[in-house]
Chains A and B, each alone.
Chain A
Amino acid sequence: MNDETPAGMPASEYGSEFGERLSYLIGLVLALVLTGAAFTLVWMKLLTGGAALAVLGLLAFIQVLVHLRCFLHIDLARSHRDDLKLILFTALILLVMVSGTIWILYDQHLRMMP
């Protein structure tokens, strides 16, 4: 983490403007497709009940990954990066907090039913 940064950085290290534009464009198109799919699924009532929820959740999850990759430039090749570790740890904590809360409140709710 404390290794020196070599002075003078070749421009090639940054990727090209064209390449990066492409990445944003791909992100945009994918996001549009995923969003469109999710809304269409509901509008057209293609699925109902648990199946619909599961598919919607999956689509959202994929779209989050797309945004992280194409807009926020997080990727696995740089997995030794502190930021990725941070995001993964956050994901763990979020999972514990959200699922725990829902579980606890749902359990209490069931036991209060008349």
Chain B
Amino acid sequence: MNWELIFGQLQWTSFVFAGAILDPSLSEFIASGAGSIAVLGAVAVVILLTVKRWWVPLWRDWLTSVDHKKVGIMYMVLALVMFARAVIEAALMRAQQLVAYDSAGFLSADHFGQLFSTHGTIMIFFVAMPFITGLMNYVMPLQIGARDVSFPLLNAISLMLTVAGAILIMISLVVGQFSTGGWTAYPPFTGIEFSPGEGVDYWIWAVSLGSIGSTLTGLNFAVTIYKKRCPGMTLFRMPLFCWTTLCTSILMIFAMAPLTAVTVMLALDRYAGFHFFTNGDGGNMMNYANLFWLFGHPEVYILILPAFGVWSEVVATFSAKRIYGYTSLVYATMCIAVLSFAVWLHHFFTMGQSANVNAIFGIATMVIGVPTGVKVYDWLLTMVGGRIRFSTSMLFLINFLLTFILGGLTGVLLANPGVDFQVHNTLFLVAHFHNMIIPGVLFGMFAAVQFWFPKAFGFRLHEGLGRASFWCFAPGFLLAFFPLYWLGMMGATRRTYMWSDPEYLPWLALAMAGAGLILAGFAFMVTQIVVSVRQRDRLACPLGDPWDGRALEWSIPAPAPEWNFAVLPDVTSRDAFYEAKQSGQAYRSPAAYEDIEVPRNTATAPLIGLFACAWAFGLVWHIWWLVAVSFVLMWAVVIVRSFNMNTVEIIPAARVKAQNEAFLAAARAAPGVPREQEMTSDNRGKALPEALTARAGAVPAGRAVEVLS
């Protein structure tokens, strides 16, 4: 019997638990522990679903759904689950570096290598990307007054491909090892000669699945914004979040292709003996760095732009003021998007090209700082003279402005090739990019969750716990990463699992403390969600507008109905809903209702995801029959689906009318709450318009507002 035909390179020793038996060391026990947590977690979920009889609703209402709102929420859940894993890995790395002073610490070098590789890969592809994608999914169609994205099924397929990639990385906890090549996976180290195992293959296929999913997402959102805006919604009336979504989508369309190309080339090198990046035979590993960063640099803007959009919405809403410099923000976003394609070389200044090449890319990099600076001033000026409320989202915004500027400044430093030669590959760089990504992207997404959660679920999140999490996250970040700037300048290299310089110790201890605070912040956040679910009646805001919002998404009930808008709105200005409230036009009944067509649920997307995951697993372990079968099945699903011409269902006008009129009547009847009480249980989601509040003299109208805006 030839077992290799059936199991490929998979053996019983491939399972992580075998490692602990064959080599009982702390490092292996931690690996087995992580594997057990993954397995137990999966088992616990299965038991929970069975006991609660949630299998059917999960399948019927969620997995097979193509509704952009549900797809968005599933993306966010994926991001949070993966964040839990990656942040624990980060804490482990911090702990290892703290104790590994002149000793080996508790992790083997190889295990540490896997940790920074999975941490980086997960954080970028399976935390940050799903977070922004989920948010854009949920919010953008509501803001442009659309009923869904242009291609709802494609949207669900993108999600399921991303989930397949994430599952693959989770499997690597239990079966086999992950790559030790970092999130960038530079050859020749990741070539077959130096990394013969399955680890790099896990990286290749997980990232490829995520990358294809993101390309399709970008395509979908760009078409949606171009073709599905409601009447009157010209491009320059769109909320800024939609602009940043558009630019991010365009970046996704063009930047993911180089990644797909480069992973395929690396795979060909590894599987078929090609010579793209090998040491000899005409291979050129520097082209890998070139192609990877052709994707990698736009990628960081893919992540940050949606967060910029969130900040723009948050700052305007909680300053109760129109955003300052709308047009300049739009053009700044466009400039950033285009420029981000012209700076990729700054990631490999030290690779040996001549000084002129470095200089040109260095200058281009510094130029990007200009539009970003414009944005910062716009946000600051929006706050000037506004009636600011320090909600959790707003606290995150203020923290963002303070820390992001510092991160940006270190970025400008790094853009100077001379400086980069000194701190390249040190913890200075690690500090810099975490400084951009955590207060910028991650906290941006946290702020977005606080902000839009009530829209998605019909109740607010507990404010006290939100602030508690903020007060852990913000100082935690500073403690965890500012010491790294210092360490980097002292020469501490990145991706290093042990030290011998005693001067590093105090700084590493500080960083460890920071990581602990960050973990505490995450714990508060999870608690906040649990507590809020428990207290959902007290926190309920079914009328949909808890923050005195400005764009269209606040004009509909919370949670948003399946069809989003009973009748497509007709907008005449920016901040359409805010203007309507001010002029007393909000919550008017429409003249007539029509039947609404919505796409039917379908098993297509989850099946494609399932087969894609099996296909990738087969590739990792060289199980060729599985590769062939799942590939055929995947395309069979697509073809079968293409023969189904009955893909929409009709929601009758009467049902829409009944539900919408009930909502409008309730909204009109509700008294509305002034802003001082928005965090109390009086806030049922109807905001008292500013105009009325001001007339009642409850809040003195700030004169500075008029002067500045």
Q: Which residues of A contact B (CB under 8 A)?
A: 1-2, 82, 89-90, 93, 96-97, 100-101, 103-105, 107-108, 111-112
CA distance A107 to B258 in the complex (A): 21
Is the beta-carbon distance between A101 and B291 smaller than 8 angstroms?
yes
CA distance A90 to B342 in the complex (A): 14
Is the beta-carbon distance between B254 and A108 smaller than 8 angstroms?
no
Partner of A93, one of B226, B287, B341, B353: B341
Is the beta-carbon distance between B226 and A82 smaller than 8 angstroms?
yes
0/1 string, B228-247, CB within 8 A of A gives 1: 01111100000000000000
0/1 string, B96-130, CB within 8 A of A gives 1: 00000000000000000000000000000000000
Partner of B353, one of A90, A97, A107: A107
Q: How far is the CB of B591 from chain A (nearest CB, A)?
A: 18
Q: Residue on A with the closest CB to B348?
A: A104
Is the beta-carbon distance between B352 and A97 smaller than 8 angstroms?
no
Q: Residue on B with the closest CB to A105?
A: B287
Is the beta-carbon distance between A1 and B290 smaller than 8 angstroms?
no
Contact partners of B291 in chain A: CB under 8 A: 101
Is the beta-carbon distance between B352 and A111 smaller than 8 angstroms?
yes
CA distance A34 to B232 in the complex (A): 47
- The answer, yes or no, to whether B351 is at the interface (CB within 8 Å) is yes
- Report if A111-B226 is in contact (Cβ < 8 Å); known contacts: A105-B284, A105-B286, A105-B290: no
- The answer, yes or no, to whether B357 is at the interface (CB within 8 Å) is yes
* Most B Cβ at <10 Å: residue of A82, A96, A104, A112: A104
Partner of B226, one of A1, A90, A100, A101: A1
| Interfacial residues of chain B within 236-291, with CB under 8 A of chain A in the complex | 250, 254, 258, 284, 286-287, 290-291
- Report if A93-B254 is in contact (Cβ < 8 Å); known contacts: A2-B229, A103-B357, A111-B354: yes
Is the beta-carbon distance between B353 and A111 smaller than 8 angstroms?
yes
Is the beta-carbon distance between B286 and A96 smaller than 8 angstroms?
no
Is the beta-carbon distance between B254 and A90 smaller than 8 angstroms?
yes
CA distance A82 to B223 in the complex (A): 10
Write 18 A-B pairs (CB below 8 A) sorted by A numbering.
Answer: A1-B229, A2-B229, A2-B231, A82-B226, A90-B254, A93-B254, A93-B341, A96-B341, A97-B341, A100-B342, A101-B287, A101-B290, A101-B294, A103-B357, A104-B345, A105-B284, A105-B290, A111-B352
Q: Residue on A with the closest CB to B250?
A: A89
Q: How far is the CB of A75 from chain B (nearest CB, A)?
A: 20
Q: How far is the CB of A97 from chain B (nearest CB, A)?
A: 6
CA distance A7 to B102 in the complex (A): 80
Contact partners of B287 in chain A: CB under 8 A: 101, 105
* A interface SS class: helix
Q: Residue on A with the closest CB to B232?
A: A2
CA distance A96 to B344 in the complex (A): 11
Contact partners of A107 in chain B: CB under 8 A: 353-354, 357
Is the beta-carbon distance between B341 and A104 smaller than 8 angstroms?
no
Contact partners of B290 in chain A: CB under 8 A: 101, 104-105
Contacts A1-B226, A97-B341, A107-B357 known; list 8 others, CB within 8 Å.
Answer: A2-B231, A2-B233, A96-B342, A100-B294, A100-B342, A100-B345, A101-B291, A111-B354
0/1 string, B287-301, CB within 8 A of A gives 1: 100110010000000
Is the beta-carbon distance between B294 and A104 smaller than 8 angstroms?
no
Partner of B294, one of A89, A97, A112: A97
CA distance A25 to B287 in the complex (A): 42
Chain B interface size, as a band, is 20 to 34
Contact partners of B354 in chain A: CB under 8 A: 107, 111
CA distance A108 to B288 in the complex (A): 13
Q: How far is the CB of A98 from chain B (nearest CB, A)?
A: 10
Q: Residue on B with the closest CB to A89?
A: B250
> Between A and B, how many residue pairs show CB distances below 8 Å?
46
Is the beta-carbon distance between A108 and B341 smaller than 8 angstroms?
no
Is the beta-carbon distance between B286 and A97 smaller than 8 angstroms?
no
Q: How far is the CB of A103 from chain B (nearest CB, A)?
A: 7
| Interfacial residues of chain B within 353-399, with CB under 8 A of chain A in the complex | 353-354, 357
Q: How far is the CB of B358 from chain A (nearest CB, A)?
A: 10
Contact partners of B286 in chain A: CB under 8 A: 105, 108
CA distance A19 to B50 in the complex (A): 65
| Interfacial residues of chain B within 304-353, with CB under 8 A of chain A in the complex | 341-342, 344-345, 351-353
Q: How far is the CB of B192 from chain A (nearest CB, A)?
A: 23
Contact partners of B342 in chain A: CB under 8 A: 96, 100
Contact partners of B352 in chain A: CB under 8 A: 108, 111-112
Contact partners of A82 in chain B: CB under 8 A: 226
Q: How far is the CB of A65 from chain B (nearest CB, A)?
A: 22
What 10 A-B pairs come out closest when comparing CB atoms?
Answer: A107-B353, A108-B353, A93-B254, A107-B357, A96-B341, A107-B354, A108-B352, A108-B286, A2-B231, A101-B290
CA distance A2 to B231 in the complex (A): 6
CA distance A1 to B258 in the complex (A): 32
Q: Residue on A with the closest CB to B258?
A: A97
Q: How far is the CB of B534 from chain A (nearest CB, A)?
A: 45
Contact partners of B258 in chain A: CB under 8 A: 97
Partner of A104, one of B230, B233, B353: B353
Q: How far is the CB of B160 from chain A (nearest CB, A)?
A: 27
CA distance A111 to B357 in the complex (A): 12
Q: How far is the CB of B236 from chain A (nearest CB, A)?
A: 12
Contact partners of B254 in chain A: CB under 8 A: 90, 93
Contact partners of A104 in chain B: CB under 8 A: 290, 345, 353, 357
Contact partners of A108 in chain B: CB under 8 A: 286, 351-353
Contact partners of A111 in chain B: CB under 8 A: 352-354
CA distance A103 to B342 in the complex (A): 13
Contact partners of B230 in chain A: CB under 8 A: 2
CA distance A100 to B230 in the complex (A): 40
Q: Residue on B with the closest CB to A93?
A: B254
CA distance A105 to B254 in the complex (A): 21
Contact partners of A100 in chain B: CB under 8 A: 294, 342, 344-345
CA distance A105 to B230 in the complex (A): 47
Contact partners of A96 in chain B: CB under 8 A: 341-342
Q: How far is the CB of A25 from chain B (nearest CB, A)?
A: 33
Q: How far is the CB of B331 from chain A (nearest CB, A)?
A: 16
CA distance A102 to B353 in the complex (A): 12
Contact partners of B344 in chain A: CB under 8 A: 100
Q: How far is the CB of A22 from chain B (nearest CB, A)?
A: 32
Q: How far is the CB of B202 from chain A (nearest CB, A)?
A: 28
| Interfacial residues of chain B within 190-236, with CB under 8 A of chain A in the complex | 226-227, 229-233
Contact partners of B233 in chain A: CB under 8 A: 2
Contact partners of A112 in chain B: CB under 8 A: 352
CA distance A93 to B353 in the complex (A): 22
CA distance A89 to B342 in the complex (A): 14
CA distance A90 to B255 in the complex (A): 11
Q: Residue on B with the closest CB to A85?
A: B226
CA distance A105 to B345 in the complex (A): 11
Q: Residue on A with the closest CB to B344?
A: A100
CA distance A105 to B354 in the complex (A): 11
Q: Residue on B with the closest CB to A103?
A: B357
Q: How far is the CB of A110 from chain B (nearest CB, A)?
A: 8
Q: How far is the CB of B305 from chain A (nearest CB, A)?
A: 16
0/1 string, B542-586, CB within 8 A of A gives 1: 000000000000000000000000000000000000000000000
CA distance A107 to B352 in the complex (A): 9
Contact partners of A2 in chain B: CB under 8 A: 229-233
Contact partners of B229 in chain A: CB under 8 A: 1-2
Q: How far is the CB of B641 from chain A (nearest CB, A)?
A: 27
